[in-house]
Amino acid sequence: MKKIIIGLVLILAIGLFTGCSSDTQATDIEVDQYTIGITQFGEHASLDNCREGFIAGLAEEGFIEGENLTIIYENAQFDNGISNQIAQSFVSKKVDLIGAIATPVAQSSFNAAKDKDIPVVFTAVTDPVAAMLTEGNVTGTSDKLPVEAQLKLIRAMLPQAKNIGILYTTSEVNSLSTIEEYKALAGNYGFEIVDMGVSATADVPLAVDRILPQVDAMTNLTDNTVVGSLPVILEKANAKGVPVFGSEIEQVKLGCIASEGIEYVELGKQTGRMAAQILSGEKTADEIAYEIIEKSSLYINSHVMEEFNLSLAQEYMDRAMDVAE
């Protein structure tokens, strides 16, 4: 028993010491050193791309990791509690800026940093207004999906299709707002949206079985759970002859037929450049309004298109990037 008490006191002490020692900043006399914390909600291809782009964007503007920039990277493993602790850890380490990838970590970071003079730059937040991340020492980029472009694409490839199916996770707030947008615009292209919500990965197979008979095509959001289950969805959809349209390049590589998507690395770079402006003192976070990417990028998977015996008009093919090459 004594051992446990000693052990726990040790842990407590370590916790305090590491906390205290991080309070001091290493200052280099020659070059201005910057330390930033990057917090990512979970491991996920799109979010990873964002991070890559973010670091690249900073490098483009002269903030290079290892030279004048130290990056502390933490991953919240999709856990709300860890997200909060990471935010507090960054704040107590007095980082110069926090880069937050995805809504929950953005909110945790903003909340922890708001009275502390640490700017927060987010990316992959679909609706910054709903997330209340527009006022204050915070800015960033939104990965709002190019819904209209996607609808156009689907119509171009499937002239006769009527119903489009969308699977989403009920716990992802971004999904609902995107679905609303789909429903609002679908009519303009002669489509009807059939949506089905799941609450966990385990629910996906059954939900797919139920939705497939009702639709002519499927389209994805950037929903973590659904995208994580993409192989299952593709297998079932292909068996039933239903093409699945993705929302970004990684999904098309996995087997989705095509996507008018956001280039997440580009989005990250855009965010990195915004962060650079803040670090250099050019602007403050509340002076920069959040941005979205206007242009969508068209990705196609020609193998899948062949299997479905579908084709696209030349004007599309000209600007398309074929992942099958």
Footprint (CB under 8 A) of other proteins, residues 70-129: 74-82, 84-86, 88-89, 91-92, 94, 103-104, 107-108, 110-111, 114-115
Does residue 196 bind other proteins (CB under 8 A)? no
**Structure-token pair, residue 126:** 């679909």
Name the one range near other proteins by CB under 8 A: 50-58, 170-178, 210-218, 262-270.
170-178
Over the Cα atoms of the chain, what is R_g? 22
Tokens of 17: 């010491």
Binding segment toward other proteins, per CB under 8 A, in 1-9, 25-33, 224-232, 251-259:
1-9
- C-alpha 257/C-alpha 164 separation (Å) is 14
- Cβ distance 275 to 121 under 8 Å? yes
Determine if 6 is a binding residue for other proteins (CB under 8 A). no
68 binds other proteins (CB under 8 A): no
Contacts of residue 309, defined as CB under 8 A and 6 or more positions apart, other chains included, come to: none
Distance CA 99, CA 30 (A): 26
Smallest gap from Cβ 2 to other proteins, in A, equals 9
Across-strand partners of 97? 36
- Least CB distance from residue 248 to other proteins, whole Å? 21
Contacts of other proteins in 25-54 (CB under 8 A): 43
d(CA 204, CA 220): 13
Residue 187 makes contact with other proteins by CB under 8 A: no
Position 199 contacts other proteins (CB under 8 A): yes
Rounded Cα distance, 149 and 298, in Å? 9
CA 94/CA 72 separation, integer angstroms: 12
- Residue 181 CB, shortest distance to other proteins, in Å, is 15
Give yes or no for residue 133 binding other proteins (CB under 8 A): yes
Polymer length of the chain: 325
206 binds other proteins (CB under 8 A): no
CA distance 292 to 99: 16
Q: Does 24 interact with other proteins (rule: CB under 8 A)?
A: no
Footprint of other proteins on this chain (CB under 8 A)?
A: 1, 3-5, 8, 11-12, 14-16, 18-20, 22-23, 43, 74-82, 84-86, 88-89, 91-92, 94, 103-104, 107-108, 110-111, 114-115, 130-133, 135-136, 170-173, 176, 199
